[in-house]
Copies of this chain bind each other. A is one copy, B any other.
Amino acid sequence: MPKSEPADGPPEPEAAAVDGVATEREPGGGGGVRSMVERWKMDGAPARARLVLRGAAWVFSLLALVVMASNAHGGSHDFNNYPEYNYCLGISVLAWLYATAQVVRDAVRLSSGRDLIAERKVSAFVDFAGDQVVAYFLISGLSAAAPVTDYMRQKENNLFTDSAAASISMAFFAFVAIGLSALVSGYNLSMEALV
């Protein structure tokens, strides 16, 4: 049958091109958007930057919680006597658990390409909401712990107040890292909203 012969010859690339365009246009007429998102995803620079930021947040929140939790030298020099320090410690633990989970997720995503949260929009929303909420919690916790430390240091500088100040500084660095990570996540969420 000669009619079927062209199907094996030149028309093939044209059909493939049409197919390609049709596939690209499928999601709600935003063909250019999808290709940009794909290019951005293939590039992966923001994803890698976010992994670095979350790794930094993991280190700093771990330091903040270890320094604060070990800051018990008996008597009034025990973090447990100060509700502000308990609050700051609790938030450091929360931030560290969050950073651990997100670093694992990001590492799996970058190495295998699979996301532990299957639905992409849910995943982008979890990233953004999580980063944002943890950043607000961290700045709140360290702001609460700062005044009492300042009052004590006006009277005396000792191991207890030095450790508290060090823990607050570490929490601040963790806040900066998570806050920057929230920027990347916000960009990512807007990209998902467009597709």
Kindly state whether residue A83 has any CB partner on chain B within 8 Å.
yes
Interface SS, A side: helix
In the complex, the answer to whether A194 meets B140 with C-beta atoms within 8 Å is no
Tally of this chain's copies: 2
Question: In the complex, A195→B140 CA distance in Å?
Answer: 36
A31, CB-defined interface residue at 8 Å: yes
Does A44 sit at the interface, judged by CB under 8 A?
no
Q: Is the CB of A18 within 8 A of B24?
A: no
Shortest Cβ distance from residue A60 to the other chain B in the assembled complex, whole angstroms: 17
Size band of the A side of the interface? 35 or more
Tell me the bound Cα distance from A148 to B83 in angstroms.
Answer: 11
Docked-complex contact B190 and A186, CB < 8 angstroms: yes
Q: Which residues on B sit within 8 Å (CB–CB) of A143?
A: 139-141, 143-144
**Whole-angstrom distance from the CB of A130 to the nearest CB of chain B?**
14
In the complex, the answer to whether B36 meets A29 with C-beta atoms within 8 Å is: yes
Residues from chain B with Cβ under 8 Å of A147 in the complex: 83-84, 144, 147-148
Asked if A24 contacts B14 (CB within 8 A), the reply is no
Interface centre among A29, A83, A144, A179 (most CB of B within 10 A): A144
Which chain B residue lies CB-closest to A84?
A: B147
A118 contacts partner chain B, Cβ-Cβ < 8 Å: no
**In the complex, A30 Cα to B139 Cα: how many Å?**
38
A-B contact pairs, 6 of them (CB 8 A): A24-B31, A24-B32, A139-B139, A139-B143, A186-B187, A194-B194
